[in-house]
Structure 1
Amino acid sequence: LVGAAIVGLFTVVLVSTIERTGLVREDAAIGLVFPALFSIGVILISRYADGVHLDIDAVLLGELAFAPFDRLVFWGWDFGPVSLVVMSVILALNVAAIAVFWKELKLSTFDPALAVALGFTPALVQYGLMSLVSLTAVGAFDAVGSILVVALMIAPPATAYLLTDSLPRLLALAAAIGAASGIAGYWLAYVLDASIAGSMASMTGVFFVLGWLLAPERGLVAAARRRARQRLEFAQTMLAIHLANHEGRPEAEVESRVEHLHGHLRWEADFAERIVLGAERRGLVVERIGSLELTDAGRTLAAEAVSR
């Protein structure tokens, strides 16, 4: 575990060093470092561990059902499953680091220039954060496999990001979504008699899709409703401008007729009726004997729209 964590930290340092040269961007630096180290790992395995059987459950999926049987026994005392003890210690380290270095982490992550001006070293803070990430990933790999680790590191934070802009709430939501994915995934695996880790990873994807669709501000449904509302509001503004342009003129009687709007503004009859009803509800126009008249609010809206 220690060796894997050190290699993870070395990977971060190498990526950061290549990026700071200014010759390549961060994504390109990652693309250079990861395949190179992966190739070295493949060579080492083929050279020194050619006869070792690498079980797919141990390498990719993990097997949570067997985790309770690997006990940590010290001087005759049973301290519980090894994975639980290791991850509890790592969790305590992560929580303590975030609590102690909260301001430094926020400043170095979101405004490195200001952090340097205030005397901080953003690179050092970043290396510390990446060290914790590497340690967490390596510790979790042994118990749950790489698929679930990657899923829980990406999907819950991405889902939480769709739901809030507040960093404290984002962290709390990400933890809650991760826990909910674990519980739901376990019961899904129980019902389907499937891989526990795979089911949990699948549930992180389900929660992300739900957030992507139903998030109050950034969800697809909210975006579609916002675009539809903007379309209607724009059409109502165009109606107010149209009536204001002809108000007080001889042609006003014809131009303000409801049945003529679809021809003058090139709207379908049904759409024109919807716009008129919406404008009436907003108090922009009133209908009198088949003709539309602007209210004071409608005149103000038309004047503001024209003056922009």
Structure 2
Amino acid sequence: MIEVLYVLIVTALATAVLGVFLVLRGLSMTTDAISHTILLGIVVAFFITNDLRSPLLIFGATVVGLFTIYLIRLIMNTRLVKQDAAIGIVFTALFAVAVILVSRYADNVHLDIDVVLMGQVLYAPLNRIELFGFSMPNALFQLSIILIINIIFISLFYKELKVSTFDPVYSHIIGFSTTLIYYLLMGLVSVTAVTAFDAVGAILVINFFVAPAVTAYLLVKRLSHMIILSCIFAVINSSLGYMFGMMLDVSMSGATSFVALIIFLIVFLVNPKGYFSTVLKRRRQKKTFTRAMILMLMNEDRHQALTREEIQSHFGLDDSAFYKNIEYLLLNDYIEKEDKKYKLTDRGEEYTHYTRIKYELPAQ
């Protein structure tokens, strides 16, 4: 069963290196469309060859994948509909045709809808190939080749991919063909998707392309670092998904996708620029602003000594917020209390003077 893990890891790596550019280019949902519409190419090629192991299935699926991209861009270029609408129209139409063909003419073969969507990675080791006297799963061999091709492509065209991803206008000015790079990238996405299609299904293919790259994007900003970290997350997701799938006896695709979601949420919530950090930063900023406004108010001639009720009324503070802010100002010697009234100390006056100079506020 360890071969199942190998298939998952190689699949994850082959998709993750391309997924980085899909995420940065805003093409994540295009992957969803490709991973479903390639079924049409598989079905048509199967009808021609009547052989599920024929290499023409990969060729047919790749052609349909590129055709999907072409149709989406064609509709988008009319400027009548946006990208998401174009993807929705093309994706559902081509996938619907494939489903009709499968259910009508191929219901007695391996091309069933459940396998198409969820995949059967546990069956990958059953389809084997002999290579230099070693026996290995055919999916592992094919995906290893795809992984090598993808790495070579990114290595050779790294500069072009980087420039066309972040500044397509500049890329065109200096002579890079953004269209050629785009179709080369999407062609490899189609080939990778269809190669992984039989082993892991359409759902996990989408997850492998998008989840590691999105998670890595939250942590790093350099492209090279994002590619490396995306591959690391891809291995972690597939390894943990394999472990949980085996332990709980559930769908390997579902377990892997769920693990990827959990890891993404953890990174999203706790990274230095994540949700929790942002919320805490906003709360600190709000407290700092409120305290500064209290001091600035006391620095005005007509408000040099204020009661609790006057401060609460002016800033709309409840008792809890008032005492928290006042306690901080008292402990740090910004204000002092005399006869139930609060007024600035020398340090408080220095702070307000510095604040006015810093933000060029008029003196009171």
**So what's the TM-score if we normalise by structure 2?**
0.74
- Higher RCO by CA contacts (8 Å cutoff, separation 6 or greater): 2
Distance 1:67 1:45, change over 3 A: closer
Deviation at 1:211, TM superposition (A): 2.0
Deviation at 1:129, TM superposition (A): 0.7
Cα distance in structure 2, aligned partners of 1:280 and 1:85: 70
Q: Does 1:9 align with 2:66?
A: yes
Cα distance in structure 2, aligned partners of 1:161 and 1:173: 9
Q: Are the aligned partners of 2:102 and 2:111 in contact in 1 as well (CA < 8 Å)?
A: no
Q: 3-state DSSP class of the match of 2:80?
A: coil
Deviation at 1:183, TM superposition (A): 1.1
Question: Residue 235 of structure 2 aligns with which residue?
Answer: 179
Q: Does 1:58 align with 2:133?
A: no
Match of 2:225 among 139, 157, 169: 169
Match of 1:101 among 139, 157, 179: 157
Gaps spanning 5+ residues in structure 2: where?
1-57
Deviation digits for residues 209-242 of structure 1, max 9, x if unmatched? 212222220x221121122112112102212321
Q: 3-state DSSP class of the match of 1:287?
A: strand
Distance 1:184 1:42, change over 3 A: closer
CA-based RMSD of the aligned residues comes to: 2.6
The 5-angstrom pairing of residues 218-297 of structure 1 reads 219-246=274-301, 252=304, 254-255=305-306, 261-279=311-329, 285-287=334-336, 291-293=343-345, 294-297=348-351
Paired AA for residue 63 in structure 2: I
Distance 1:53 1:98, change over 3 A: closer
The 5-angstrom pairing of residues 98-177 of structure 1 reads 98-177=154-233
**So what's the TM-score if we normalise by structure 1?**
0.86
Distance 1:280 1:121, change over 3 A: farther
Match of 1:298 among 352, 355, 359: 352
Q: 3-state DSSP class of the match of 1:163?
A: coil
Answer with 95-104 or 257-266: which moved more: 257-266
Deviation at 1:126, TM superposition (A): 0.6
Deviation at 1:201, TM superposition (A): 1.4
Q: Are the aligned partners of 1:240 and 1:299 in contact in 2 as well (CA < 8 Å)?
A: no
Question: Residue 49 of structure 1 aligns with which residue?
Answer: 106
Q: Are the aligned partners of 1:59 and 1:145 in contact in 2 as well (CA < 8 Å)?
A: yes
Distance 1:284 1:182, change over 3 A: farther
Deviation at 1:297, TM superposition (A): 2.9
Deviation digits for residues 248-276 of structure 1, max 9, x if unmatched? x6x52x23x66753344332343223223
Deviation digits for residues 158-183 of structure 1, max 9, x if unmatched? 22222222222222222211211111
Q: Are the aligned partners of 2:66 and 2:190 in contact in 1 as well (CA < 8 Å)?
A: yes
The 5-angstrom pairing of residues 178-217 of structure 1 reads 178-217=234-273
Deviation at 1:137, TM superposition (A): 0.8
Gaps spanning 5+ residues in structure 1: where?
none
Q: Are the aligned partners of 1:240 and 1:301 in contact in 2 as well (CA < 8 Å)?
A: no
Paired AA for residue 134 in structure 2: D
Cα distance in structure 2, aligned partners of 1:147 and 1:271: 49
Q: 3-state DSSP class of the match of 2:81?
A: coil
Q: 3-state DSSP class of the match of 2:136?
A: strand
Q: How many residues align?
A: 300
The 5-angstrom pairing of residues 33-48 of structure 1 reads 33-46=90-103, 48=105
Deviation at 1:78, TM superposition (A): 3.1
Question: Residue 68 of structure 1 aligns with which residue?
Answer: 125
